[in-house]
């Protein structure tokens, strides 16, 4: 139940459905509290912060982010935060804990360990195959879930953990997605996915 609700929350965030994410996180938080799983609670607080920021409820987002960082400090967590990538990176500066006596060193370590965002190549174009008829080929539900997480810059391993799939299953589905999109890279797959989604709203 906990893992399914957590996956649902992540997918809702990937689909820009923050309200649905918050509902799923209520379930995760309840079970995490019952089981006394500190790391789960930190993850819930992080995702709540992301969802609230999406809803422009910034004060609440900062509160949950601060609570997550404070709990992470007590539990000695680092990778839990770094794995969230750009979403965490965009919110962390809002805390400005550098001068906090207790959390200051921990905060600075998190900031220091964050990977630099790769530069976006403005002139980079998806492959010519993107314009083929394959672009209109529909995806299965599982393939769509994987594409949604791919757009969050998740690795195959993280996608597998989030969707409770084997790594081989994720790789197999990615091959099918690449074939349907007529592409050969994750970047081009994301470009096509966004283009298809934009086309649905025009």
Cα distances from 202 to residues 129, 160, 196, in angstroms, run 22, 32, 10
pLDDT at 3: 74
Choose between 187 and 131: higher pLDDT: 187
pLDDT of 152 over the 80 cut: yes
Q: Which residue has the higher pLDDT, 35 or 121?
A: 35
Return d(Cα 43, Cα 11) in angstroms, integer.
14
CA-wise closest residue to 177 among 132, 133, 142, 201: 142
Q: Which domains are present in the chain?
A: 2-113 (1.25.40), 128-200 (1.10.10.10)
Mean pLDDT of 28-55: 83
pLDDT at site 1: 61
pLDDT given at position 116: 59
Give the rounded distance of the alpha carbon of 153 from its chain centre. 7
Q: What is the pLDDT of residue 52?
A: 92
| Mean of pLDDT values over 75-85 | 82
Quick one: average pLDDT of 170-195? 86
Could you give the CA distance from residue 113 to residue 42 in angstroms, rounded to a whole number?
A: 18
pLDDT of 132: 43
- pTM of the full predicted structure? 0.63
**Exposed / middle / buried, residue 44 (Cβ in 10 Å: 0-12, 13-18, 19+):** buried
Residue 93: closest CA among 118, 75, 110: 110
State yes or no: pLDDT of 99 exceeds 70: no
Pair 14, 149: CB distance under 8 Å: yes
Q: Which residue has the higher pLDDT, 114 or 65?
A: 65
Kindly report, residue by residue over 16-35, the tens digit of the pLDDT: 889 999 999 998 887 776 66
Closest CA to 169 of 160, 178, 182: 160
Residue 86 reports pLDDT greater than 90: no
Q: What is the mean pLDDT of residues 169-176?
A: 89
Single out the residue of 68, 73, 58 nearest to residue 25, CA to CA: 68
- Angle 193-114-24 (CA atoms, 0-180°, nearest 5)? 55
Whole-number average pLDDT of the chain:
79
| pLDDT (average), residues 52-80 | 89
């Amino acid at each position: 139940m906990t893992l399914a609700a957590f996956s649902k929350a992540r997918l809702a965030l990937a689909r820009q459905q923050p309200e649905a994410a918050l509902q799923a996180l209520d379930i995760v938080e309840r079970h995490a509290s019952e089981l006394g799983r500190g790391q789960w609670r930190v993850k819930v607080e992080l995702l709540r912060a992301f969802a609230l920021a999406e809803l422009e409820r910034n004060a609440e987002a900062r509160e949950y982010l601060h609570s997550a960082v404070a709990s992470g400090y007590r539990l000695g967590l680092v990778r839990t935060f770094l794995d969230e990538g750009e979403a965490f990176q965009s919110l962390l500066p809002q805390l400005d804990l550098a001068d906090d006596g207790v959390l200051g060193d921990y905060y600075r370590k998190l900031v220091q360990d964050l990977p630099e965002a790769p530069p976006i190549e403005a002139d980079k174009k998806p492959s010519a195959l993107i314009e083929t008829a394959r672009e209109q080929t529909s995806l299965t539900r599982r393939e769509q879930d994987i594409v949604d997480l791919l757009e969050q810059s998740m690795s195959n391993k993280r996608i597998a953990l989030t969707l409770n799939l084997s790594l081989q299953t994720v790789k197999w589905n990615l091959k099918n997605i690449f074939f349907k999109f007529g592409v050969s890279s994750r970047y081009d797959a994301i470009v096509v996915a966004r283009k298809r989604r934009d086309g649905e709203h025009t």
